Structure 1
């Protein structure tokens, strides 16, 4: 029989994959939102829709309050749930949504001590990060101590992180946890465009995570720089294409990657807001819309 740790790892991988499948089967954004809502209901979490209008389009973000100490700084964790018109948006970005849902379960079971936590599932990312921009622009919106984004978390051996700053306690904790879990960890300020950019452009602290093959990263950045690496990295062959369905997923490293991220967030919680990645150096591999 599997050990308790192995059984837990298997359960995370199975649950994560099932959630990605459920979301990506949705025929439209409303169906994807419904799948997310069903999971949040099962977790016993209250959630709400926040409609918005932007660039002549209507969207709705889904927001969840996980709670936390009154008056504590806010940690916001999110992922976009919309997709492009082709494919099923499994890798981009049901995979990121399922990752946030797994973190929600972990943080509900064992809450942070020094932060309030909210979850956000953004709409219309693929049309220019519109959901995230709309949330930030809401009058009276609270600036989070840190926004943590997930986009394209579908396979691979490396946790890839966009961070505008080196040498923080968060990075040190992630490096240490990745060694414990035996998974690659590659942070840096060059990264494809996704919702973290909306926060950085507002001057609000943000980071972003993907799970990919470590040998893909250089070629992914080349592709977003307008080059044509040969062969094209797997990510670029899958996202925004008819092949972006659940068959592309490999959950093998997802539990380890989740444990690394959770360990980093818990280490950040211990330091409260003494030091978090700042937004004065918002760098990205490309422009401000779409992509992993």
Structure 2
């Protein structure tokens, strides 16, 4: 796709996204879908980053590109600051925006990026009381979580009170959460469980989860969780595949990601709005319970 055609398509999609200004409405899934389409239209990382930046500009959120080099690999993380109370602890929210060479990277991981952008809109409109918030979009996740590892390894980097990751948020009836075993009964998990029950959405927390950017934080001893939106019946087969097994039925996620099928045609945003409300309510309850 030529640069002009790409910019024209992105501008059209973003104008549709920007046409609905409020978070508390019935258009979350529609905005999410348009944003996934805008990001997926880019054939390279720069174009995908441009689509993210354009959305942040529309929301009035300041952002920057932060270049990094790790070993023989170089890339750019995109960093946006939502602000918050002075000297308050940091809540960091992120998703990787790079893709593998095949497919459009819609499920993996434009879907997660679009989820973070929706949360950014909500948290900018109504800031948290006890935490500052930054959002980061990681480069080179597909090369070994390179962007996230580079972030954590940067000298003087602030240790967040929590890092919240999104990877694969494309369909399904269940919010799947990676949470360390020791924190399985945490206030955040309890709040998410309550909110998911109210939304009649499946909720599956646990320490077994596919490898993604949260691991860079856990390896450094920094608190981190991760979210996916999938079918509840996919979780055990997904874990079986990552464990080297061969489930009787290959889950949809494993058929789509890293393949030519990873296009917007595979997305189903029917429960995205419910899932994002659950996450937002959980984070707000976690923030409200914070003591410093």
> Is the TM value for this pair above 0.5?
yes
Partner of 1:181: 199
Taking the aligned partners of 2:200 and 2:133, their CA distance within structure 1 comes to 28
Q: 1:143-292 to 2 correspondence within 5 Å? A: 143-164=159-180, 165-272=183-290
1:46 Cα deviation from its structure 2 partner: 0.4
Partner of 1:290: none
Structure 2 gaps, min length 5 = 1-22
1:10 Cα deviation from its structure 2 partner: 3.3
Residue 120 of structure 2 is aligned to residue 104 of structure 1: yes
TM-score by length of 1: 0.90
1:90 Cα deviation from its structure 2 partner: 0.2
1:55 Cα deviation from its structure 2 partner: 3.0
Taking the aligned partners of 1:235 and 1:97, their CA distance within structure 2 comes to 17
Structure 1 gaps, min length 5 = 1-6, 275-292
Partner of 1:33: 49
Q: 1:21-170 to 2 correspondence within 5 Å? A: 21-164=37-180, 165-170=183-188
Residue deviations 1:186-213 (CA, integer Å, cap 9, x gap): 0000000000000000000000000000
Taking the aligned partners of 2:172 and 2:66, their CA distance within structure 1 comes to 34
TM-score by length of 2: 0.90
Query: Cα distance 1:8–1:142, how it changes in 2: closer, same or farther (>3 A)?
Result: closer
1:9 Cα deviation from its structure 2 partner: 5.0
Taking the aligned partners of 1:147 and 1:82, their CA distance within structure 2 comes to 19
Contact 1:145–1:273 (8 Å) recurs in 2: no
Partner of 2:29: 13
Query: Cα distance 1:241–1:273, how it changes in 2: closer, same or farther (>3 A)?
Result: farther
Ranked by relative contact order (alpha carbons within 8 Å, sequence separation 6 or more), the top structure is 1
Taking the aligned partners of 1:273 and 1:29, their CA distance within structure 2 comes to 40
Taking the aligned partners of 1:25 and 1:188, their CA distance within structure 2 comes to 34
Taking the aligned partners of 1:216 and 1:10, their CA distance within structure 2 comes to 27
> RMSD value over aligned CA atoms?
1.1
Which segments of structure 1 move beyond 6 Å, counting only runs of 4 or more?
A: none
1:74 Cα deviation from its structure 2 partner: 0.3
1:153 Cα deviation from its structure 2 partner: 0.2
Query: Cα distance 1:235–1:62, how it changes in 2: closer, same or farther (>3 A)?
Result: same
Taking the aligned partners of 2:95 and 2:240, their CA distance within structure 1 comes to 24
Contact 1:80–1:151 (8 Å) recurs in 2: yes
